[in-house]
Amino acid sequence: MCGICGVIYSDLRTPDVAVLERMVQTLRPRGPDAAGTFVAPGVALGHRRLRVLDLAGAHQPMVAQDVREAGGSDVCLVYNGEIYNYLELGRELRRLGHPLSLRSDTEVLLRGYLQWGADVVRRCNGMFAFALWDGRDRTLLLARDRMGQKPLYLARIPSGLLFASELKAMAAHPELEARLDPDSVRRYLVHEYVPDPHCIFASASKLPPAHLAVVRAADLEVRPRAYWDLSFPEPGSARRRRMTLGDAASELRLRLRRAARIRMVSDVPLGVFLSGGIDSSLLVGLLSETAPEGERLQSFAVGFDDPTFDESGHAAQVASAFSTEHHCRLFDMEALQSVLPRVVTQVDEPFGDASVLPTHLLSAFARERVTVALSGDGGDELFAGYPTFQAERLGRPLTRHLGPGWHNLLRRVAGLLPVSTDNISLDFKIKQFARGVGLPVEGRHQVWLGSFTPDEARALLRPELAARLGPVDPLDEISRRVAATPAVDPWDRLMVYYCRYYLAGDILVKVDRASMAVGLETRAPFLDPEVVDLACRMDPRLRLRGLETKAVCRELARDLLPPAIARRAKKGFGIPLARWIKGPLKGLMSRLLAPERLRREGIFRPEPVRALVRAHLAGRLDARKPLWTLMAFQLWLEEHVGGALP
């Protein structure tokens, strides 16, 4: 796993090597083992490496030496990720006459480009973001993996284009304009992150998952195009009707086991994140079935001294069932609070998902023993694992048959419930449910997941910033994007929404930044193309059966896991923010959300923010999500912009 960065100019100027090296240095946590640069007229590429395969070779940037010798032009690659089918692709390339001298997926990707051009991305099963400079026609190929596991930022500068794995690397270039985009501030308040292709800075953007762009040096136009998308059979088709729950579970077992095994290829120590939930437990069970004689799988978990947030006992039960070499570390709340502000700012853009903290702690703990860890990410999005899918089952008839008057009554009644600070408490669920009822389907899920509605977000912004907002409502933006996909069935459309927004914009960003900050590579077998294809092909009723979430996964779990684990309900990887904000984080909140500070910065109106603070502290409202979303923004602003907004 690595970090990449670079710049391409429309003229033949020689890039500033010192600037490139500063950009590369910001990515050191992603690649602590080595660094490299490539500079040619009009282009510069930088790389930081975390050694996982071919430890002695495969240095980057990697140049195709035979092309250089034949024509004097360079074809050069910088690449972040892993291609799991690189051995298969390498055998095919050798048959086609390509000289492969390394045991490296980097070399396979480079030679694959020379054979197939940009279409090489369609052949890759992996997680990746890469930039490939072709000096023969002065083009830069940029690409990201199908589900968006690896990031790639872009930004226009005078006469040039920057790219990098992280926004902070581009910010090290003196020509990047760090001006906030008002629409993305609003998007952040609605989503708790900034969804692609948007970026918190107006001059920057993200290349979306499953997209590539061929950028010509002559004009630097970036025209992303999709090379893959989620694909679904027609609703009610025979292809779907024929698959039973048992068939689907058996097929999932085969595909998930194969996906997990190919992700175990590594020249460095490897383990598995084990929360005790269904997804990570299935991975441990399937890998244990095929482990070589006498070899024990390493599993990692963290626990907390607050029992409502602790899952370490469930993880230990699974570890015992499969005889893993299990490692668990318990953290007290003081330890969590002490690193919280620093961890939040590791994410390049404002990020309001507080579960980044336990994810960081788990990654740092695992990195003490391994360099690679498998995770269960993607299972909830692909197989309807969140409580919001149960809410959809209940909310759809309410939305369809009851008018706005009933929806408003439901919200008022929910508001009368006593406030609890427990993890995903009953009153929290009911109040979030009531907020979304009556909205279009993807919109209500966004409201259920997020902190603010678009109207609430607009009302928080200072009038001069709100006046600069564009005409597009963030919920309408979601609906249009989902409508442009091949999904027809409403449940399939929900899968598209969760994969393209919550998974790509929140979950995978959180895992990438938290793990790469400590030099740990994470791999997600559930996001293998074969597993994703199976999730898309099966009837939605095999994903959500009545109110039973992840029906096909539970069917497999009943055959593989201890009964108590197979029956477990979804439990978020959270921290007790509601209580912390009233206690140990109260001082931090007061500093970050002080009215005089908000007035000076000119982004948020002090009055509604102060009302939220007072209501939460008085126990009239559980405002943990909106308050933390605002605090996380302020921490980001303090760290990355220094509070001085251009």
CA 200 from chain center: how many Å? 16
Is residue 266 one of the residues assigned to a domain?
Answer: yes
Q: Quick one: 83 and 129 in the same domain?
A: yes
Q: Quick one: 614 and 643 in the same domain?
A: yes
Q: How far apart are CA 283 and CA 307, in angstroms?
A: 25
Backbone angles phi, psi at 198, to 5 degrees: -80, 165
H helices within 263-378, ranges in order? 278-290, 312-321, 333-344, 356-367
Q: What CATH number is attached to the domain comprising 535?
A: 3.40.50.620
CB 7 within 8 A of CB 156: no
pLDDT at 602 over 90: yes
Is residue 323 one of the residues assigned to a domain?
Answer: yes
Q: How far apart are CA 599 and CA 645, in angstroms?
A: 13
Is residue 531 one of the residues assigned to a domain?
Answer: yes
Over range 193-198, report the average pLDDT: 97
CB 76 within 8 A of CB 132: yes
* Confidence at residue 406, expressed as pLDDT on a 0 to 100 scale: 57
* Confidence at residue 134, expressed as pLDDT on a 0 to 100 scale: 96
Instruction: Give me the sheet containing 139-144, strands edge to edge.
Output: 62-63, 75-83, 126-134, 139-144, 211-216, 225-226
How many other C-beta atoms can be found within 10 angstroms of the C-beta atom of residue 157?
A: 18
Q: Which of 205, 226, 247 is at the close of a domain?
A: 226
Q: Quick one: 622 and 547 in the same domain?
A: no
Split at pLDDT 50, 70, 90, the class of 219 is: very high
CB 121 within 8 A of CB 212: yes
Is residue 309 one of the residues assigned to a domain?
Answer: yes
Over range 378-394, report the average pLDDT: 94
Q: How far apart are CA 528 and CA 374, in angstroms?
A: 12
User: Coil, strand, or helix at residue 301?
Assistant: strand
Q: Quick one: 322 and 378 in the same domain?
A: yes
Q: What CATH number is attached to the domain comprising 120?
A: 3.60.20.10
Is residue 100 one of the residues assigned to a domain?
Answer: yes
Over range 220-229, report the average pLDDT: 96
Q: Quick one: 248 and 297 in the same domain?
A: yes
Q: Which residues contact 65 (CB under 8 A, 6 or more apart)?
A: none
pLDDT at 64 over 50: yes
Q: Which of 176, 198, 226 is at the close of a domain?
A: 226
* Confidence at residue 401, expressed as pLDDT on a 0 to 100 scale: 63
**Half-sphere exposure for 440 (CA within 13 Å, toward CB):** 14
User: Coil, strand, or helix at residue 34?
Assistant: strand
* Confidence at residue 293, expressed as pLDDT on a 0 to 100 scale: 72
pLDDT in tens, 43-55: 999 999 877 765 5
Split at pLDDT 50, 70, 90, the class of 309 is: confident
Q: Quick one: 375 and 313 in the same domain?
A: yes
Over range 518-535, report the average pLDDT: 96
> Which domain does 307 fall in, by range?
238-331+349-383+519-566
* Confidence at residue 644, expressed as pLDDT on a 0 to 100 scale: 43
* Confidence at residue 643, expressed as pLDDT on a 0 to 100 scale: 47
As a dihedral over the C-alpha atoms of residue 364, residue 366, residue 369, residue 375, rounded to 10 degrees, the angle is: -140
Is residue 24 one of the residues assigned to a domain?
Answer: yes
Residue 200, judged by CB atoms within 10 A of its CB (0-12, 13-18, 19+), counts as: buried
Cα radius of gyration (the chain)? 24
CB 209 within 8 A of CB 193: no
Q: Quick one: 627 and 542 in the same domain?
A: no
Q: How far apart are CA 619 and CA 613, in angstroms?
A: 10
pLDDT in tens, 329-343: 988 777 777 787 778
Split at pLDDT 50, 70, 90, the class of 344 is: confident
CB 625 within 8 A of CB 435: no
pLDDT at 300 over 80: yes
Question: How far from 109 is each of 5, 100, 133, 141, CA to CA, in Å?
Answer: 18, 11, 13, 12
Is residue 404 one of the residues assigned to a domain?
Answer: no
* Confidence at residue 16, expressed as pLDDT on a 0 to 100 scale: 94
Catalytic member of 2, 199, 499, 553: 2
Q: Quick one: 251 and 118 in the same domain?
A: no
Q: Quick one: 21 and 149 in the same domain?
A: yes
Split at pLDDT 50, 70, 90, the class of 150 is: very high
pTM above 0.75, yes or no: yes
Residue 2 a catalytic site member: yes
Q: Quick one: 39 and 165 in the same domain?
A: yes
Over range 172-199, report the average pLDDT: 96
Q: Quick one: 190 and 300 in the same domain?
A: no
Q: Which residue type sits at 604?
A: F
Split at pLDDT 50, 70, 90, the class of 140 is: very high
DSSP β-bridge partners for residue 38: 45
DSSP β-bridge partners for residue 80: 129
Split at pLDDT 50, 70, 90, the class of 402 is: low
Q: Quick one: 142 and 213 in the same domain?
A: yes
Is residue 534 one of the residues assigned to a domain?
Answer: yes
Query: What's the structural domain count of the chain?
Result: 3
